[in-house]
Amino acid sequence: MLALFKVASCSSWNPIQLENDSGTFRQGTQMENSAPLPADITDDVHRIADALTGFDVGSLVETIVGTLVGALLAGVVAFLVLRQERSERYETKITDAARDVMVQIAEYAKEVRNFRGRLIDHHAAEANGTTTTRPLEPERTDLDVSLDILIARSKARDRIVAEGIREVAYELTFVMDMDWSSREYHALRRVISAWRSARRSNDETIASLLVINDRRRRTEAGAKADDLPAAPEPFERKLSS
């Protein structure tokens, strides 16, 4: 026989009477509200809730500021490193170009001396009645190309120096005294060497180029060697004999 439930209402307890087949009754109870949690567990729950939902403006600002400062410092360091690398690459390129110019100047100066010797032989042969072909003048294409490359790679004040070097080298081509012009080419080479070895600043190098130009103009005007200003960057013997 199915159990019959008779429920009686109460303010805090709900008696439940169960009638079974034998006619006996069993009384049970049901609580409306669960028992309160222990105090230590309640405190833990509150702390967890605060940790999850708490919002500390000061900590947030410190975190943001710290992150921004760190990013700024990293950016500054990266910029300085990149700038240094670019500066080193520039110096390497311009020094390589200047070295090529010095090599071509030395080669051209040697060709000038050789041409002078061949020209003397040519004139001597013609004076003796022998017809000979006039020797070809030295080819300066390689020198001009190296000078153009130096100018193309130079920037700011370095470019002014490079253009001054090209002007001096060009003007020395027209000096009639080839032996003298050959020596001046070597003076120009020493000026370039002092420039790229950091023994002379840009301004000092420009001043040296002006001296070579002044010597050339005075020579073309007929001035004697003793009346010329001293050549820049003279060769000095360092080792004692």
The pLDDT tens digits of the residues spanning 52-92 come to 555 566 776 778 888 888 888 888 888 888 888 888 899 99
Average of pLDDT values for 24-37? 48
| CA dist., res. 214 & res. 210, Å (int) | 6
Q: Mean pLDDT over all residues of the chain?
A: 80
Cα–Cα distances in angstroms (integers) from residue 25 to residues 12, 17, 85, 191, 194, in the given order? 21, 6, 97, 124, 120
Query: Is the pLDDT at 15 greater than 60, yes or no?
Result: no
Residue 144 vs residue 59, higher pLDDT: 144
CA angle 91, 92, 98 (to 5 degrees): 85
Strands 4-7 and 16-19: antiparallel
Average of pLDDT values for 180-207? 95
pLDDT at 38: 58
Q: Is the dihedral of CA 19, 22, 27, 28 positive or negative?
A: negative
pLDDT at 59: 73
In percent, the amount of the chain with pLDDT more than 70 equals: 73
Q: Which residues pair with 26 in a beta bridge?
A: 18
H or E stretch covering 19 = strand 16-19
Q: Which two tokens stand for residue 185?
A: 């080419």
Average of pLDDT values for 98-109? 96
Residues 164-187, buried b or exposed e (16+ Cβ, 10 A)? bbbebbebbeebeebebbbebbbb
Average the pLDDT over each of 21-30, 41-50, 91-100, 231-240 and give the range with the smallest value. 21-30
Residue 85 vs residue 34, higher pLDDT: 85
Contact (Cβ atoms closer than 8 angstroms) between residue 178 and residue 186: no
Query: Is the pLDDT at 199 greater than 60, yes or no?
Result: yes
